[in-house]
Amino acid sequence: MTSLTIPELRHKLSIGAVKPREIVDALATRVAAIDPKLKAYNYVNADSARAEADQADITKPLGGVPIAIKDVINVQGDPCTCASKILQGYVAPYDATVITKLREAGAVFFGRTNMDEFAMGSSTENSSWGVTRNPWDLDRIPGGSSGGSAAAVAGHEAFAALGTDTGGSIRQPAALCSCVGLKPTYGRVSRYGLVAFASSLDQIGTFTKTTEEAAMLLEIIAGHDFLDNTSVDRPVPKYTHSLHGGVKGLRLGVPKEYFVDGMDPEVEKAIRAAIDEYKSQGAKIVEVTLPHTKYAVAVYYIIATAECSANLARFDGVRYGKRAANPKDILDMYGRTRAEGFGAEVKRRIILGTYVLSSGYYDAYYNRAQKVRHMIAEDFRLAFQKCDALLTPTSPTAAFKIGERTQDPLQMYLADIFTIAVNLAGICGVSIPCGFTSGKLPIGLQIIGPKWGEETMLRVAHAYEQATPWHKEKPPL
In three-state secondary structure terms, 400 is coil
| DSSP string for 425-442 | HT-EEEEEEEEE-TTS-E
- Give CA–CA dist 310/312, Å, rounded: 6
Query: 78, 76, 122: which is closest to 100 by C-alpha?
Result: 76
For 64, 132, 202, 382, the CA distances from 45, given in Å and listed in that order, are 16, 19, 27, 48
State the number of CA atoms in the 13 A half-sphere of 141 facing the CB.
29
User: From the CB of residue 287, how many other CB atoms can be counted at a distance below 10 Å?
Assistant: 10
Sign of CA dihedral 204, 37, 469, 276: positive
- Bridge partners (DSSP) listed for residue 390: 253, 448
Query: 367, 115, 69: which is closest to 221 by C-alpha?
Result: 69
Active site residues: 70, 145, 169
| DSSP string for 254-286 | EEGGGS-TTS-HHHHHHHHHHHHHHHHTTPEEE
- Give CA–CA dist 231/222, Å, rounded: 9
Sign of CA dihedral 226, 232, 235, 238: negative
- Give CA–CA dist 83/88, Å, rounded: 8
For 33, 297, 350, 399, the CA distances from 136, given in Å and listed in that order, are 16, 28, 33, 9
Query: 35, 97, 103, 34: which is closest to 65 by C-alpha?
Result: 103
Question: Do strands 108-113 and 251-255 pair parallel, antiparallel, or not at all (unpaired)?
Answer: unpaired
Contacts of residue 268, Cβ cutoff 8 Å, sequence gap at least 6 = 259, 393
Question: Do strands 180-183 and 204-208 pair parallel, antiparallel, or not at all (unpaired)?
Answer: antiparallel
Q: Could you give the angle at the alpha carbon of 394 between the alpha carbons of 388 and 395, nearest 5°?
A: 155
